[in-house]
């Protein structure tokens, strides 16, 4: 008859026979968003207290060899542990709970139990198969490990080595942290201490007091996921007409939704503001001519994926002379869009020609928190109303202007020497405090001669608030082209303006 072997050992004996430091290797590569390897990045394995830095190829390794014998982590006794005929016995003097984990020979955990004080537990509840097992017993921050075998009757033997698979288990809440100046700190939780990581760090975004980062995620409006409650006045070609009460006036506006409109997808919004003598409906549909080659200043035809909702406002009497009333009209219409359609509130754009450019220029100095960018054609630095006694808000705005150097109605030089520096003064690169600086000393390059055009991108402005100045040798029209003035090889159908404006808006 086989003799039952009862094994009861002290914590000190366990340390002598079975104590070890966990064996593991964590390695990997650190790069930036563009895939460039980052050297000198601090890598910290937090709970293990290990640290290294990346080499010139962005590589790092944190390695710990398996060491038998007394390890610093096991200096505190956890009491007495024994296995007798399948019964785990434990005894310890502290009031801390006893955490018992058992793993099979492949390192898979088969038992996890929290016990209190002193007592015993029948392992047959969880360990029934013949084989070798590894037990891990913890009290507070002290941990003991041992190996035992069972033939089905739980005859046990103390081993002197532990399975390497068990030793790869990460401590609870273990994590690895990557720190570098100029990059966001990244902390990654670990479930194992044997792993290879491919880490990408994101450059720390400058801290600005205003505005969005380039390429920001869309900001959905209140209307996302809902059905519009707006009642149209009538349908028109390429859109619908609506009305809104602004003060004592009833104002008309038009909306064109993309054919694939999705009320769960935040859409960009473009407002088209008409010139003197035109109406809002003219920019929804119009027989092609030099003022209206396609709807919405040529932008709708370029919206290949249905990303935009287009809006056209109607001025009272064909002119934008209502001051605060016109500003309120724009603001209330935008709020109505927010509530009834799914729009990206961080990508609202405006565009306009002549008087529409004047109104756009006025709005963009009052609505910087709601309008991302404006594109104007032949802006004039006169007849422009601004609220609060012409005290403009001291905030930047992205702006593109197209202007004929021979414009006899909205003087080019006045726009260049007055309207342009007023915007540049607020659009300079942000300083250490996040305040935008004065970029008005920079001058644009301009077209020379009777053909061609020059679009100049200012270099001293903040990249989130770009300014583009396009000059061409034409007169007062927005369909600029490279064949000279009207009457001298003039062909508005060759206009490059819509494509340039589309690219300008799409950078945000």
Model confidence over 144-203: pLDDT tens digits?
666 666 655 444 433 333 334 444 566 677 899 999 988 889 999 888 787 889 999 988
Tell whether the model's pLDDT for residue 321 goes beyond 50.
yes
- Chosen domain end from 204, 224, 259: 204
In a domain, 114, yes or no: yes
- Chosen domain end from 189, 204, 219: 204
Q: What is the pLDDT of residue 21?
A: 41
Rounded distance, CA 172 to CA 170, Å? 6
Q: What are phi and psi of 319, to 5 degrees?
A: -135, 145
223 against 17, higher pLDDT: 223
Note whether 240 and 199 are same-domain residues: no
Note whether 197 and 86 are same-domain residues: yes
Note whether 21 and 81 are same-domain residues: yes
In a domain, 272, yes or no: yes
Q: How many CA atoms lie within 13 A of 49 on its CB side?
A: 2
Note whether 180 and 246 are same-domain residues: no
Note whether 265 and 185 are same-domain residues: no
CA distances from 17 to 84, 131, 138, 159 (A): 19, 21, 17, 7
In a domain, 265, yes or no: yes
Mean pLDDT of 124-135: 71
Note whether 349 and 455 are same-domain residues: yes
504 against 386, higher pLDDT: 504
Q: What is the pLDDT of residue 85?
A: 62
Q: Smallest Cα–Cα separation from 439: which of 423, 457, 455, 456?
A: 423
In a domain, 217, yes or no: no
**Domain hosting residue 91, numbered range:** 1-204
Mean pLDDT of 40-64: 91
Q: What is the pLDDT of residue 485?
A: 61
The number of domains in the chain is: 2
Q: How confident is the model at residue 8 (pLDDT cuts 50, 70, 90)?
A: very low
Q: Smallest Cα–Cα separation from 404: which of 360, 453, 358, 443?
A: 453
Note whether 103 and 151 are same-domain residues: yes
pTM: predicted TM-score of the whole model, two decimal places:
0.63
Rounded distance, CA 58 to CA 37, Å? 5
Note whether 258 and 367 are same-domain residues: yes
In a domain, 221, yes or no: no
Note whether 196 and 243 are same-domain residues: no
Tell whether the model's pLDDT for residue 87 goes beyond 50.
yes
Tell whether the model's pLDDT for residue 320 goes beyond 80.
yes
Q: What is the pLDDT of residue 431?
A: 86
Note whether 188 and 293 are same-domain residues: no
Q: How confident is the model at residue 74 (pLDDT cuts 50, 70, 90)?
A: very low
- The CATH number that applies at residue 33 is 2.60.40.1120
Q: How confident is the model at residue 134 (pLDDT cuts 50, 70, 90)?
A: confident
In a domain, 216, yes or no: no
- The CATH number that applies at residue 362 is 3.40.50.1820
Beta bridge partners of 9: 81
Q: What is the pLDDT of residue 492?
A: 75
Note whether 149 and 255 are same-domain residues: no
Angle (CA) 60 63 65, round 5°? 165
Rounded distance, CA 380 to CA 124, Å? 89
In a domain, 220, yes or no: no
Q: Residues of the chain with pLDDT > 70: what percent?
A: 79
In a domain, 228, yes or no: no
Most confident of the following: 8-22, 86-100, 190-204: 190-204
Most confident of the following: 3-17, 295-309, 428-442: 295-309
Q: What is the pLDDT of residue 483?
A: 84
Note whether 23 and 144 are same-domain residues: yes
């Amino acid at each position: 008859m086989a003799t039952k072997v009862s094994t009861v050992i002290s914590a000190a004996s366990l340390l002598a026979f079975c104590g070890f430091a966990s064996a593991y290797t964590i390695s990997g590569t650190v790069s930036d968003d563009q895939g460039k390897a980052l050297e000198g990045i601090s890598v910290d394995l937090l709970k293990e207290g290990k640290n290294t830095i990346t080499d010139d190829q962005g590589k790092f390794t944190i390695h710990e060899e398996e060491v038998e014998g007394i390890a610093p982590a096991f200096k505190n006794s956890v009491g007495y542990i024994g296995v007798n005929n399948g019964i785990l016995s434990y005894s310890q003097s502290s009031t801390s709970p006893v955490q018992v984990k058992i793993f099979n020979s492949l390192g898979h955990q088969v038992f996890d139990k929290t016990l209190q004080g002193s007592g015993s537990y029948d392992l047959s509840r969880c360990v029934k198969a013949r084989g070798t097992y590894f037990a891990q017993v913890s009290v507070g921050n002290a941990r003991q490990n041992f190996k035992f075998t069972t033939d089905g009757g739980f005859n046990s033997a103390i081993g002197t080595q532990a399975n390497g698979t068990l030793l790869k288990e990460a401590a609870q809440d273990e994590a690895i942290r990557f720190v570098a100046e100029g990059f966001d700190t990244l902390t990654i939780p670990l479930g194992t201490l044997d792993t290879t990581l491919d880490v990408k760090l994101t450059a720390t975004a400058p801290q600005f007091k205003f505005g969005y980062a380039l390429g920001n995620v869309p900001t959905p409006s209140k209307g996302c996921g809902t059905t519009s409650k707006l009642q149209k006045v009538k349908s028109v070609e390429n859109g619908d007409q609506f009305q809104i009460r602004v003060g004592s006036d009833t104002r008309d506006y038009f909306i064109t939704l993309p054919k694939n409109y999705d009320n769960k997808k935040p859409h960009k919004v473009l407002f088209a503001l008409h010139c003197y003598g035109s109406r809002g409906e003219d920019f929804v549909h119009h027989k092609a001519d030099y003022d209206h080659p396609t709807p919405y200043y040529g932008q709708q035809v370029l919206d290949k994926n249905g990303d935009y909702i287009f809006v056209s406002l109607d001025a009272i009497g064909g002119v934008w002379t209502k001051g605060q009333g016109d500003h309120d009209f724009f603001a209330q219409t935008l709020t109505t869009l927010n509530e009834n359609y799914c729009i990206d509130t961080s990508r609202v754009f405006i565009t306009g020609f002549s008087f529409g450019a004047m109104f756009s220029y006025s709005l963009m100095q009052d609505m910087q928190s709601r309008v991302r960018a404006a594109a104007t054609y032949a802006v004039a630095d006169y007849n422009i109303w601004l609220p609060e006694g012409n005290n403009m808000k001291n905030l930047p705005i992205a702006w593109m202007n197209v202007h004929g150097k021979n414009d006899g109605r909205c003087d080019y030089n006045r726009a260049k020497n007055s309207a342009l520096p007023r915007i540049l003064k607020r659009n300079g690169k942000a300083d250490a405090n996040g305040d935008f600086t004065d970029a008005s000393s920079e001058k644009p390059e301009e077209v020379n001669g009777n053909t061609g055009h020059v679009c100049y991108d200012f270099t001293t402005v903040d990249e989130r608030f770009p300014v583009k100045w396009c000059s061409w040798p034409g007169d007062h029209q927005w369909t600029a082209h490279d064949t000279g003035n009207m009457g001298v090889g003039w062909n508005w159908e060759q206009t490059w303006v819509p494509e340039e404006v589309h690219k300008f808006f799409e950078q945000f």
